[in-house]
Amino acid sequence: MRVAAIQTETIPADVDANLAGCERLADQAAREGAEWILLPEFFTTGMGFIPKLAECVLSPDGPATALLLDLAKRHGANVGGSFLCRDGDGHVRNAFFLATPQGMAGRHNKDLPTMWENCFYVGGSDDGLIRAGDLNVGAALCLEFNRTQTVRRLRGKVDLVVGGSCVWGAPKGSPIRGYLQRHVERVSRWAPPFARMMGCPVVEANHCGHFRCSTPLLMVPWISQYQGGAIVCDANGEVLAYRSRDQGAGVVVADIKPGSVPTTEPIPDRFWILELDPISEYLGWRAQNWHGKRWYKRRGAGAQQRAPADWASSRR
């Protein structure tokens, strides 16, 4: 089975441009014979502490899902990706949708927002299991690939895991940028150990490109770039295809054998698979999570109570 992971050069908060870029790269993946095409997490917007993102939320049946369904039907492929999605209860979620040529197969809401992601959506509680044809598929997004609870809910139940990430680098100008950047690069190589622990193939799409945003709790800008790293791994964690950040936007394609293999890789008795360093754990994960949840209540949900039917209506 031929699969493709897309790496987009994302323009933060520009939904129209990002949808067009994803469509071009998905068409390229199909020309290379891909039967499964994965778009990144937040493929419509990217991610950062950018207030405009609260205005870029789409409905479950808006243009993002329309693109996934159109690509799936056009190419006879399974196509998936996640975006900021406002549901009927008024809350926004990071929702991964998987489309097939026959229609929408299922959805997974990311369990826990990361740092400033908390400003824009709330977490989900589903198991991430989606049935697509004769395959049991697990969905995972970004740091879900690095959490033991993801392995516990999916191991032994799926033939492959698909999803995407949006990983940002350390800010330029920080006196500890080198330290933070080394940590980001170490931890974000989570796909191979995750595949070994799962015992099934993993396909992860990603973002590249530069971005600038504010820094939560500080009056300084966050100037950095998305980490990139679109990847396909087999059930033993061997890397079959990889696209680095420096290679820019593009597609990686590989042939995989879906299905699980016996694994003796233990599940660590802790929260993270690859542990965060103390600075990222306390000043990033804990402090920014706290700030983001408060910001969401004031501006992410409270200021955006409508559920736009499409992108055009959300811009009025």
Is 145 in contact with 204 (CB distance < 8 Å)?
A: yes
Q: Would the pLDDT of 304 be above 80? A: no
pTM, entire model: 0.94
What is the pLDDT confidence band of residue 301, given thresholds at 50, 70 and 90?
Answer: low
What is the pLDDT confidence band of residue 209, given thresholds at 50, 70 and 90?
Answer: very high
pLDDT at 140 (0 to 100): 98
Q: Would the pLDDT of 299 be above 90? A: no
Average pLDDT over all residues of the chain? 94
Cα 174 to Cα 170: distance, rounded to the nearest angstrom: 8
Q: Would the pLDDT of 305 be above 80? A: no
Q: Provide mean pLDDT across the span 51-66.
A: 96
User: Can you tell me which residue has the tokens 């199909």?
Assistant: 30
pLDDT at 302 (0 to 100): 44
Q: Quick: pLDDT tens for 68-83.
A: 999 999 999 999 999 9
Cα 202 to Cα 245: distance, rounded to the nearest angstrom: 19
User: Can you tell me which residue has the tokens 């500080």?
Assistant: 218
Q: Quick: pLDDT tens for 210-266.
A: 999 999 999 899 999 999 999 999 999 999 999 999 999 999 999 999 999 999 899
pLDDT at 308 (0 to 100): 41
Q: Would the pLDDT of 316 be above 70? A: no
User: Can you tell me which residue has the tokens 């973002």?
Assistant: 207
Q: Quick: pLDDT tens for 136-170.
A: 999 999 999 999 999 999 999 999 999 999 999 99
Q: Quick: pLDDT tens for 110-140.
A: 999 999 999 999 999 999 999 999 999 999 9
Q: Would the pLDDT of 95 be above 60? A: yes
Q: Quick: pLDDT tens for 27-48.
A: 999 999 999 999 999 999 999 9
User: Can you tell me which residue has the tokens 């408060």?
Assistant: 294
Cα 79 to Cα 127: distance, rounded to the nearest angstrom: 20
Enclosing H/E stretch for 232 = strand 230-233
Cite the beta strand spans of the chain per DSSP E: 2-9, 36-38, 78-86, 92-100, 103-109, 129-132, 135-141, 160-164, 202-208, 210-215, 218-225, 230-233, 239-243, 250-255
CATH superfamily of 2-314: Carbon-nitrogen hydrolase (3.60.110.10)
